[in-house]
Amino acid sequence: MSDSLTLRLARYAAATSIDKIPSEIVDLAKRVCFDEMASAQFGRRSLAGGLTSRHVAALGGPPESLVLGTRMRVPAQHAALANGAAGHGEEVDGAHVVGGHPGATLVHAVVAMAERQRATGAELINALVLSYDVAIRLVAACGGKFQVKARHHLYADFLFSIGAAVGCCRLMRLDPQRYCHAMALATFQCNALGGLYAEKRHIAKSFCNGQFALAGVSAALMSSSGFEGVDDVLGMPDGVLDAWGAAGAAEAVMKGLGEEWPILGSNFKFINAGYPIHAAVESALAAVAQGQVSVEAIRSIHIGMPEKAMRVVDNREMHNICVQDMVCAALVRGRLDLRELPFPGIQGDPTYIRLRGVAQAGVDADLNRDQPEGRGANVTVTTIDGQSHCHRVDAPRGHSSRGGASWQDLHDKWLSGLPGRPVDAMTALAQRLEHLEDVRVLVDAFMEAVGEQTP
C-alpha cells in the first residue's frame, strides 16, 4: 500500500492519544460531548427522535449502546442513528463555524462505539477530538458548507461520516490500513442531496445526521471484519477530493494536524431554532430593550442578515427554521424558552399576527461584506411614530468567537431544558470524563428514569 493521503491521515489517527491534546481542548471536548448527549435526550421528544427510537427498537440485535433518553440498548450503529437524529431533532445541538452540525454525527458515533468497546473516558475524548480533526478539515477542504451545496447540490454534513469512522477506528484500535478502508466504506453509505432542505417536519435532515453517525460506526465495524473499501478514498482519482475538493484540498486535510484543533470552532445553542436565527432573535430583543419599545408600538421589523444565512431561514414552513416566525414570537413573549415552544399556540395571538405581517428579512450589506458565511444579524425595529431602533449582533451567544459556553452555562441550559433529570450528576460526570474507567458510567446518567414515558 503506497504512502497515500488517506494512509498518512490514518497513521496520524492511529497514533493519537489524550496525552497529546492540550488541556483546554480536552475541556472543550467534554463540554461538547455533554451538550450533544443532553440534546439527544431532549430531542427524543421530537418527531425524528421518536421515529428513530421506535425504528431501531424493531430491528433487534445485541444490547451494546444506549438510545439516550430511553432504557433501551441496541447495536452500536443503531444507537448512533437514533441518537444522532434525536440530537438534531429539536435544533438545540451545536453548530460549527465551518458550517453544519458535526456534533449530531460525531459525538453520537463515538459515544455509541465507546460504550460498545467499554472504552475509558480518556479514549472517548481522544476519539472525539480526532473525529473533529478529520471531519471539519474535510468540509473545509471541499470549500465549506455553502460551496458544497452551491457547486455539488449536497448537504456537506455527509462528510462528517468519514470523521466519525476515523474516531470509531481509534476506539477499536485498528491498524492504519483498516482506517483507510473504513473511510471508504463510510463514503459508500452516505450522500445527502441539498434538496433535503425542502423537508416540512424536520425529519429528513435529522435522519441524515443520524445516518452519518451510523455510517461511521458501521464502516469501522465492517472494516474490522475484513470488508474492503479502497486504499486511498481521499486522494485517488474519483475519490472524495477529486469529486468535491476545492483548490489546495489535499494540503488542507493534513495542515496543522496535532497543532490546530478544529473543535475550537464549536458553537453552542441556547434556543431551539435554526442557527442563523439565533443572532436575529438576540438582535431584535436588544433593539426593543435599548429603545424601550413596546410591541404595540412596532410598525415594521427588518431582519438584516448575510445572504447565505438568510436563504436558509427566510420564510420557511417550519416555525423554528423560519426567522420571521421566531423573531416575532420572541418579541411577543419577551424571550424564547428552551422547553416551552411558542408554536403552534402563539399563532392565534393578535399581536403576533400583526407583527408577523410587518416582519421582513433582507440582505444586510455590511454583514454580507464582513462575514459572508457568518451567522450575524442586524435588526431594525421601526415604531408607529417613525423612530428606528437598530442592533447588530455579529455572532450569537454561545458562538466560539464569544467564548462558546462555560460549564455553568451548559448546566443552567439543561437544568431548564431537562427538568426532573439529574443534571447536577450528569454535569459532574462529564467534567471528570477523562478519569472514568468505563464510558458507560456517563452514558447511564442519560438513561430514562423509571416512570418516565419514552416517546
Q: Check if the beta carbon of residue 168 is closer than 8 Å to that of residue 122.
A: no
pLDDT in 10s for each residue of the chain, 455 residues: 568 999 999 999 999 999 999 999 999 999 999 999 999 999 999 999 999 999 999 999 999 999 999 999 999 999 999 999 999 999 999 999 998 999 999 999 999 999 999 999 999 999 999 999 999 999 999 999 999 999 999 999 999 999 999 999 999 999 999 999 999 999 999 989 999 888 999 899 999 999 999 999 999 999 999 999 999 999 999 999 999 999 999 999 999 999 999 999 999 999 999 999 999 999 999 999 999 999 999 999 999 999 999 999 999 999 999 999 999 999 999 999 888 889 999 999 999 999 999 999 999 999 999 999 999 999 999 999 999 999 999 999 999 999 999 999 999 999 999 999 999 999 999 999 999 999 999 999 999 875 555 44
Within-domain flag for 361: yes
| CATH code of 279's domain | 3.30.1330.120
User: What 8-state DSSP symbol labels residue 394?
Assistant: S
Crossing angle of helices 121-141 and 23-43, rounded to 10°: 90
- Asked whether residue 292 falls in the same domain as residue 221, the answer is no
| Same structural domain, 186 and 202 | yes
Cis peptide before 344 (omega within 30 of 0): yes
Tell me, yes or no, whether 41 and 146 share the same domain.
Answer: yes
| Domain CATH for 139 | 1.10.4100.10
Q: Decide if 455 is inside a domain.
A: no
Determine, yes or no, domain membership for 452: no
Asked if residue 423 and residue 352 are part of one domain, the reply reads no
- Same domain for 336 and 408, yes or no, is no
Assigned domain for 450 exists:
no
Residues 279 and 258 placed together within one structural domain of the fold:
no
pTM, 2 dp? 0.95
- 385 shares a domain with 408: no
Q: What is the pLDDT of residues 37-84, one digit of tens each?
A: 999 999 999 999 999 999 999 999 999 999 999 999 999 999 999 999
**Cβ contacts of residue 354 below 8 Å, gap of 6+?**
none
Tell me, yes or no, whether 355 and 389 share the same domain: yes
- Which strand ranges, in their side-by-side order, compose the sheet holding 388-393? 359-363, 298-305, 377-383, 388-393
**Residue numbers of the domain that contains 378:** 275-393
Per-residue cell: 248: 489546495
Pairing state of beta strands 65-66 and 95-96?
Answer: unpaired
- Write out the DSSP string of 50-90: HHHHHHHHHH-----EE-TTSS-EE-HHHHHHHHHHHHHHT
29: left (phi over 0), alpha (psi -120 to 50) or beta: alpha
Residue 453 in domain: no
- Distance between CA atoms of residues 59 and 36, nearest Å: 24
Sorted by sequence, the CB contacts under 8 Å of residue 168 that are 6+ apart come out as 109, 110, 113, 127, 182, 216, 217, 219, 220, 221
Asked whether residue 369 falls in the same domain as residue 407, the answer is no
- The verdict on residue 69 lying in a domain is yes
C-alpha cell belonging to residue 163: 470523521
Tally Cβ neighbours within 10 Å of residue 416.
Answer: 14
Amino acid at 176: P
Q: At what angle do helices 160-172 and 102-117 cross, to 10 degrees?
A: 20
155 and 17 within one domain: yes
Report the relative pairing of strands 359-363 and 298-305 from DSSP bridges: parallel
Looking at the 3D structure of the chain, how many domains does it have? 2
Does the residue 283 lie in any domain? yes
Residue 455 pLDDT: 43
- Interatomic CA distance for residues 342 and 193, integer angstroms: 31
The DSSP-derived string for 153-188 is -B-GGGGHHHHHHHHHHHHHT--HHHHHHHHHHHHH
Alpha-carbon span 243 to 170, nearest angstrom = 26
Are 250 and 295 members of one domain? no
Q: Within a 13 Å sphere around the CA of 318, how many CA atoms are in the beta-carbon half? A: 21
Verify that 234 and 168 share a domain, yes or no. Answer: yes
Its sign, for the CA torsion 399, 86, 180, 173, is positive
Q: Which residues contact 130 (CB under 8 A, 6 or more apart)?
A: 13, 16, 163, 166, 167, 170
